[in-house]
Chains A and B, each alone.
Chain A
Amino acid sequence: MSFPNVFVIGANHHKAPIEVREKLALASHNEDALLTHLRSIEGLHELAVVNTCNRIEFYGVGNSKTIAEEVTAAFCKQQAFEISEFEAFRLSLKGKDAVQHLAEVAAGLDSQILGETEIFGQIKEAYANAQTRKFTGPILNRIFQKIFQAAKHVRSTTKITVGQVSIANVAVELALNIFGQLKETRILLLGAGDIGEKTAKAFQSRGALALTVSNRGFDKALHIATELGASALPFDQKDSRLCDFDVVVCSTSAPECILTKETVLAAMKKRPTRPLFLIDLALPRNVEASVNILQNVFVYNLDDLAKIADENRASREAEIITCKNLLGEKVENLWKHIEPQLISPSTSHVSAKPTPPQESASI
């Protein structure tokens, strides 16, 4: 007699490049069809699918040694993907290792952007979907609920989520350090560079009051402004209107500085007590370096932002071992409760009916 075990199979960004992940991505209608098929596999008691742009992972409980292979085969068949090819990208873990993996994923340790928190919500959603489909039982319910607690604990007691790691978010964080909140902050985007647009969008998503776009070609400015739900400003008015903005994102391809010390000084005379934040994302630089010496003016170029993002990333990386150890302790404790459940006779005939959430405070 073989006892059921916990397993995870799938593929993620560590091994599978984006072209492969595109092929493996499970559309919602395909997911329904696949799960209907998987439900018929004998010995597969519980299953939850984590399906994001960076990973497709099946967390299951089954009492056959080949159950993970059966799930893999069904998935590859559904996606019309060669099993032999899938082997090269495959993630396959069992028992405590599978639970540890889920814990690290939920805490953002396994994410492409280390410490990102979106994955936590995605796993919660995956678990909720599995519950809705009545495909969870006592084992997965306990594992997921305890893993959520463990991931929250790691995020709140370590620095794994501290500091932004993308250029756009670092710029927004700096603006918050200057203005406190963005609801009264007016943004001017100078130029049509991709990174500038992303940064402007980041400001919009954080509740900036208004966004204005200015570009040498006014049509392009109008086009971007329409796309972003912003207004457009003729490029020759940027100097005279500079005083109306709190944050200026520069990403033009101009070969020379477009914001000189004299221009900024003239603008600041009209708003001496309100700070001005200049984000220079262009190469060559759009803002004269000497502008930074002006009172209440803060200039950050691409290197400055990248350095802060790198420092934050390094700081998060330094926390990985601490986080893994913390999660390891939690998983070890959890496994002590799960293992007896797996070998108890009742588990080999797991009911598909979801069990209510468990309330115990610690694993």
Chain B
Amino acid sequence: MFAVLTDREWLWAAGAFYLTGLILGTLSLIKGGRPSGVTMYAVITAGYLLQLMGLGVRGHAVGGCPLGNSFEIFQFTAWSAITLYLVIGVTFRSSLLGYFTSCLAAALTLSSLLLPDFDATRRAHIFGNNPWIEFHAAIALFSYGVFALLALTSALYLLRLYSLKSKRIGGWFSFLPSVIDLDQIGLRLLVSGVLILAISLIVGSVYWTHDFASVSVFKLIVTCSVWVAYSVALILRLNGKLIAKRFGWVGILLFVAALLSLWPVDTSRHSSNGAIHVKLEAQP
């Protein structure tokens, strides 16, 4: 079954589904209607399953969780965000969240597929035989998925605040969830993201204390900074110091910063372990 398509073909198919969700949602909004929640959910689920297949094939090929280059990191982050959406989306019942998730997933998956440099070098067995390091990396990336969904929720939150403050509640603003719902889901995602990243850092630090040279200081500083930044945001939110518009903007800006930090982190670790580098010759 796995051999039917290559990993990138599976991932292209997944990207096509996410793009379909984006197009269907956009058309609904242009027509002044609400994107169908069931359709969005079905399209995203189909994309998710195809992406799971693609990541499975890639993981099989590289001998572990596929987190060896920017392409894989983008794919895994999108997949993590979708995983959460599929869980949250059922209770949240916002087709707009599905639409925004589809937009983000399409952007992450298709951009990584379209940029050949992202996947120019595959690195196999990057975690050696240490499952803890693989676990550390996987849940660190999973927390980025949580933060991605937080950024989307924050965008919806800002739009809802804008609609109420500017007294424009008609049109597609009427499809937005309430202020309280968005605030609560944002807070829960922030708590979850901070906790998951904390677990990842704890697991990683155990390995690092046994082998200081294995992790670059730059990567360590950047990753810890991301966690500290989100933790500070959480503390401020719980104290009522970071609310409303500022909370929304922080959710978006921190994710952009976290995403941008993946590049230098990925680059810095290329020379810091003994992974097998495989130059790809031809990619679809």
Which chain A residues have a beta carbon within 8 Å of chain B's beta carbons?
159, 162-163, 173-174, 176-180, 272-275, 292, 295-296, 298, 300, 304, 307-308, 311-312, 315
Question: At the interface, yes or no: B54 with Cβ under 8 Å from chain A?
Answer: no
Residues from chain B with Cβ under 8 Å of A179 in the complex: 178-180
Residues from chain A with Cβ under 8 Å of B163 in the complex: 177
Q: What's the least CB distance linking A292 to chain B, in Å?
A: 7
Residues from chain A with Cβ under 8 Å of B15 in the complex: none
Q: Is the interface of B mostly helix, strand, loop or mixed?
A: helix
Residues from 162 to 213 in B contacting A, C-beta threshold 8 Å: 163-165, 167, 169-170, 174, 176-181, 183
A295 in contact with B243 (CB, 8 Å):
yes
B182: nearest residue on chain A (CB-CB)?
A180
A315 in contact with B165 (CB, 8 Å):
no
CA A298 – CA B165 in complex, angstroms?
A: 6
A275 in contact with B179 (CB, 8 Å):
yes
Residues from chain B with Cβ under 8 Å of A272 in the complex: 240-241, 243
| Most chain B CB atoms below 10 A, which of A174, A176, A178, A311 | A178
Chain B, residues 29-42, CB within 8 Å of chain A (1/0): the string is: 00010000000000
Q: What's the least CB distance linking B163 to chain A, in Å?
A: 8
A311: nearest residue on chain B (CB-CB)?
B170
CA A315 – CA B169 in complex, angstroms?
A: 13
B177: nearest residue on chain A (CB-CB)?
A180
Residues from chain B with Cβ under 8 Å of A292 in the complex: 165
CA A289 – CA B188 in complex, angstroms?
A: 34
Question: At the interface, yes or no: B107 with Cβ under 8 Å from chain A?
Answer: no
> Considering only CB atoms and an 8 Å cut-off, how many residues of chain B contact the other chain?
23
**A-B contact list, 16 entries, CB within 8 Å:** A163-B170, A174-B164, A177-B160, A177-B163, A177-B178, A178-B179, A179-B178, A180-B180, A272-B241, A273-B237, A295-B243, A295-B245, A295-B246, A296-B179, A304-B167, A315-B170
B180 in contact with A178 (CB, 8 Å):
yes
Question: At the interface, yes or no: B244 with Cβ under 8 Å from chain A?
Answer: yes
Apart from A273-B240, A274-B180, 19 more pairs, CB < 8 Å: A159-B32, A176-B178, A177-B160, A177-B176, A177-B178, A178-B178, A178-B180, A179-B178, A179-B179, A179-B180, A180-B177, A180-B178, A180-B179, A272-B241, A273-B183, A273-B237, A295-B244, A308-B169, A308-B170
Residues from chain B with Cβ under 8 Å of A295 in the complex: 243-246
CA A308 – CA B241 in complex, angstroms?
A: 32
B183: nearest residue on chain A (CB-CB)?
A273
CA A174 – CA B174 in complex, angstroms?
A: 10
A177 in contact with B179 (CB, 8 Å):
yes
Chain B, residues 226-259, CB within 8 Å of chain A (1/0): the string is: 0000000000010011011110000000000000
CA A296 – CA B177 in complex, angstroms?
A: 16
CA A174 – CA B166 in complex, angstroms?
A: 13
Residues from chain B with Cβ under 8 Å of A311 in the complex: 170
CA A271 – CA B163 in complex, angstroms?
A: 22
B170 in contact with A178 (CB, 8 Å):
no
Selected contact of B167 from candidates A274, A300, A315, CB within 8 Å = A300
A315: nearest residue on chain B (CB-CB)?
B170
Q: What's the least CB distance linking A186 to chain B, in Å?
A: 14
Residues from chain A with Cβ under 8 Å of B177 in the complex: 180
Residues from chain B with Cβ under 8 Å of A312 in the complex: 170
Q: What's the least CB distance linking A238 to chain B, in Å?
A: 23
| Most chain A CB atoms below 10 A, which of B178, B183, B245, B246 | B178
Residues from chain A with Cβ under 8 Å of B181 in the complex: 180
CA A174 – CA B163 in complex, angstroms?
A: 11
